[in-house]
């Protein structure tokens, strides 16, 4: 492209050049550079190319991920370590991943794993809760603990300069917790208060009932992980100590290290703090998965006066290790896993029934639920359900080329976000451990997503989504929505009260 300069600008440039004072010989090159930059700044193109705003710009190819290699080694006591180096910032994340969570709770001790994890950092080693919190804050670090259904994680985020001291605190929290009786009582009251508050939260009511109708109360997936009033009131310090002793063992854990360290620099520090941790892995627990629902059923929970109805539709889905993992990801992205998904475009953008609608396959070591849902305006509850069912049926037909490309690009372009921080990388490494995924899994993820075809999406849709065999849970004002729901003829309607779902409110 030819660049032209007006006479006026040329005159101005020459005038500026003529006024420049003489410089010593060693400044000549600087003068030439200055004049060149000034010339470019004063010049402008004769014809500007207008961008095409009639359509969105085309996406470029998804970036290829090349993460540092996953390193695996063990301490002298056999404790496994998984590490990835990340040297751009002087930070370190160390997670203690223990194979044990709420699925190990005995039925009469529901909430035990969750309570144990919650109290790990409420006093440990020689420090009470306040002293421990002060010691962590003084280092500019953070130590968190929490239990999921299959794992418990104690995580440390620390500046590299404070790593030695922070590791000592992490070891205290994971291996030598105090479980003070007063902290147990405080957490017990907080959870009982939470159970009372659930009665005013339609989303909580819907979630509790949805899991129950899919899995039943005899399966860990069917009950709240925080416990219930009976188990919370009976829980004692000795119970937490027993759970900790049974599962917090070096043979049942893995250290995940991410940050500005190398194996040679971190290994002596880990040996110093964790090598005396002992214990073999306990026997594994085998859980059966209930059968999927055979006919559609509607459960209506009466919550008088609510401005919205909470809708949950679904069935038992698949485990994380399914061979259909990547086709299911693309399928769900098109159906309800993104802002431009069919469900969200229908219920939010087209009809305005909801602020947002979506779906998810919650994949776990055992088959987790497939769930589609939204909070919708009370007076359109029936219409919203019609649209849900329409989209669940329509997804059984082949998707368009545009939808397939958009769904795959959404997954591929968003995947690197999971690796922006040391904490995010450590969480991803935890997935490798829990599901025994190969070390090259991250670098190959985008390739697997982009390889999904329309035929694969159609196949998994017909295999895993059956609109005629789903449970439907609706929490809302019965007086306004019951008759319209029955008129839809989606299936038998069972009306429940809040007490039917949660039991009597705890007395605080």
Same domain? 311 vs 200: no
> Which pLDDT score, from 0 to 100, does residue 296 have?
96
Residue 12 in domain = no
List, in order, residues 6 or more apart from 261 with CB less than 8 Å away.
Answer: 83, 85, 92, 160, 163
CA distance 359 to 209: 17
Residue 172 in domain = yes
Residue 18 in domain = no
Q: How confident is the model at residue 42 (pLDDT cuts 50, 70, 90)?
A: low
Angle between helices 112-119 and 181-198 (to 10 degrees): 130
Residue 56 in domain = no
Residue 263 in domain = yes
Q: How confident is the model at residue 34 (pLDDT cuts 50, 70, 90)?
A: low
List, in order, residues 6 or more apart from 462 with CB less than 8 Å away.
Answer: 396
> Which pLDDT score, from 0 to 100, does residue 33 have?
52
């609109």: which residue's tokens?
467
Q: What percent of the chain has pLDDT over 70?
A: 90
Residue 452 in domain = yes
Backbone angles phi, psi at 20, to 5 degrees: -70, 130
CATH number for the domain including 354? 3.30.830.10
Using the Cα atoms of residue 17, residue 21, residue 23 and residue 27 in order, give the sign of their dihedral.
negative
């159970």: which residue's tokens?
195
List pLDDT tens digits, range 300-318: 999 999 999 999 999 999 9
Is the model's pLDDT at 8 over the cut of 50? no
Same domain? 221 vs 132: yes
List pLDDT tens digits, range 227-279: 999 999 999 999 999 999 999 999 999 999 999 999 999 999 999 999 999 99
CB 209 within 8 A of CB 301: yes
Query: What does the mean pLDDT of the chain come to?
Result: 91
Q: How confident is the model at residue 54 (pLDDT cuts 50, 70, 90)?
A: confident
Q: What percent of the chain has pLDDT over 90?
A: 85
Q: How confident is the model at residue 37 (pLDDT cuts 50, 70, 90)?
A: low
Same domain? 78 vs 149: yes
Is the model's pLDDT at 27 over the cut of 60? no
Same domain? 197 vs 315: no
CB 88 within 8 A of CB 160: no
List pLDDT tens digits, range 287-301: 888 899 999 999 999
> Which pLDDT score, from 0 to 100, does residue 22 have?
42
Same domain? 356 vs 409: yes
> Which pLDDT score, from 0 to 100, does residue 56 have?
72
CB 305 within 8 A of CB 209: no
> Which pLDDT score, from 0 to 100, does residue 288 have?
87
Same domain? 476 vs 410: yes
CA distance 404 to 454: 7
> Which pLDDT score, from 0 to 100, does residue 289 have?
85
Residue 26 in domain = no
Of 204, 239, 274, which one is at a domain's C-terminal end? 274
Q: How confident is the model at residue 47 (pLDDT cuts 50, 70, 90)?
A: low
Domain with 204 in it: 71-274
What is the DSSP-derived secondary structure letter of residue 364? B
Same domain? 363 vs 428: yes
> What would you measure as the largest C-alpha separation in the chain, in angstroms?
95
Of 226, 259, 274, which one is at a domain's C-terminal end? 274
CA distance 334 to 428: 24
Of 389, 394, 341, 337, the C-alpha closest to 361 is 337
Q: How far apart are the first and last CA of the chain?
A: 78
CA distance 461 to 458: 5
Is the model's pLDDT at 9 over the cut of 70? no
CA atoms lying within 13 Å on the CB side of residue 412: 21
Same domain? 399 vs 318: yes
Same domain? 123 vs 223: yes
Same domain? 219 vs 317: no
Q: pLDDT: is 461 or 48 the higher one?
A: 461
71-74 and 80-85: which strand pairing? antiparallel
Backbone angles phi, psi at 506, to 5 degrees: -60, 145
H-run or E-run covering 297: strand 297-302
Q: How confident is the model at residue 25 (pLDDT cuts 50, 70, 90)?
A: very low
CA atoms lying within 13 Å on the CB side of residue 58: 3
Same domain? 427 vs 478: yes
Of 213, 239, 274, which one is at a domain's C-terminal end? 274
> Which pLDDT score, from 0 to 100, does residue 35 have?
54
List pLDDT tens digits, range 408-440: 999 999 999 999 999 999 999 999 999 999 999
Same domain? 270 vs 311: no
11 Ramachandran zone, left/alpha/beta (phi>0; psi -120 to 50): alpha
List pLDDT tens digits, range 60-108: 676 677 899 999 999 999 999 999 999 999 999 999 999 999 999 999 9
Structural domain count, the chain: 2
Residue 60 in domain = no
């Amino acid at each position: 492209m030819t660049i032209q300069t007006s006479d006026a600008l040329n005159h101005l440039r020459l005038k500026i050049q003529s006024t420049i004072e003489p410089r010593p010989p060693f400044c000549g090159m600087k003068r030439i550079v200055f004049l060149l930059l000034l010339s470019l700044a004063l010049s402008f193109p004769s014809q500007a190319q207008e961008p095409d705003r009639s359509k969105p710009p085309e996406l470029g190819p998804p970036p290829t991920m090349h993460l540092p290699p996953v390193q695996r080694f063990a301490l002298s006591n056999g404790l496994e370590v998984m590490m990835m180096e990340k040297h751009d910032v002087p930070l370190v994340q160390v997670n203690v991943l223990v194979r044990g969570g709420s699925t190990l709770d005995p039925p009469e001790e529901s909430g035990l794993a969750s309570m144990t994890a919650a109290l790990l950092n409420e006093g440990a080693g020689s420090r009470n809760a306040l002293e421990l919190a002060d010691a962590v804050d003084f280092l500019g670090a953070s130590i968190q603990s929490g239990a999921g259904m299959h794992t418990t994680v104690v995580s440390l985020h620390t500046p590299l300069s404070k790593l030695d001291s922070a590791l000592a605190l992490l070891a205290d929290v994971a291996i030598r917790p105090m479980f003070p009786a007063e902290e147990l009582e405080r957490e017990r009251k907080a959870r009982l208060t939470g159970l009372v508050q659930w009665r005013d939260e339609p989303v909580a009511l819907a979630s509790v009932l949805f899991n129950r109708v899919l899995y039943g109360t005899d399966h860990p997936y069917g009950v709240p992980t925080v416990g219930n009033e009976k188990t919370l009131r009976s829980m004692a310090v000795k119970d937490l100590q027993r759970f900790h002793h049974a599962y917090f063992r070096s043979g049942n854990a893995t250290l995940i290290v991410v940050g500005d360290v190398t194996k040679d620099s971190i290994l002596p520090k880990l040996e110093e703090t964790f090598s005396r941790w002992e214990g073999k892995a306990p026997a594994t627990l085998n859980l059966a998965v209930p059968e999927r629902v055979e006919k559609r059923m509607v459960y209506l929970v009466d919550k008088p006066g609510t401005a919205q109805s909470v809708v949950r539709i679904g069935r038992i889905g698949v485990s994380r290790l399914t061979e259909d993992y990547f086709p299911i990801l693309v399928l769900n992205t098109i159906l309800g896993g993104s802002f431009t998904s069919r469900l969200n475009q229908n219920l939010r953008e087209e009809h305005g029934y909801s602020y947002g609608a979506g779906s998810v396959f919650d994949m776990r070591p055992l088959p987790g639920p497939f769930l589609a849902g939204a909070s919708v305006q009370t007076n359109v509850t029936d219409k919203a359900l019609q649209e849900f069912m329409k989209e669940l049926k329509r997804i059984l037909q082949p998707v368009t080329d545009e939808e397939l490309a958009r769904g795959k690009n959404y997954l591929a372009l968003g995947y690197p976000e999971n690796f922006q921080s040391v904490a995010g990388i450590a969480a991803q490494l935890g997935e490798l451990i829990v599901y025994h995924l190969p070390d090259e899994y991250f670098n190959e993820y985008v390739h697997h997503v982009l390889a999904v075809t329309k035929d694969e999406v159609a196949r998994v849709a017909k295999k895993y989504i059956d609109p005629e065999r789903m449970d439907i849970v609706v929490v809302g004002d019965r007086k306004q929505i019951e008759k319209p729901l029955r008129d839809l003829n989606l299936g038998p309607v069972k009306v429940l009260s809040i007490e039917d779902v949660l039991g009597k409110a705890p007395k605080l």
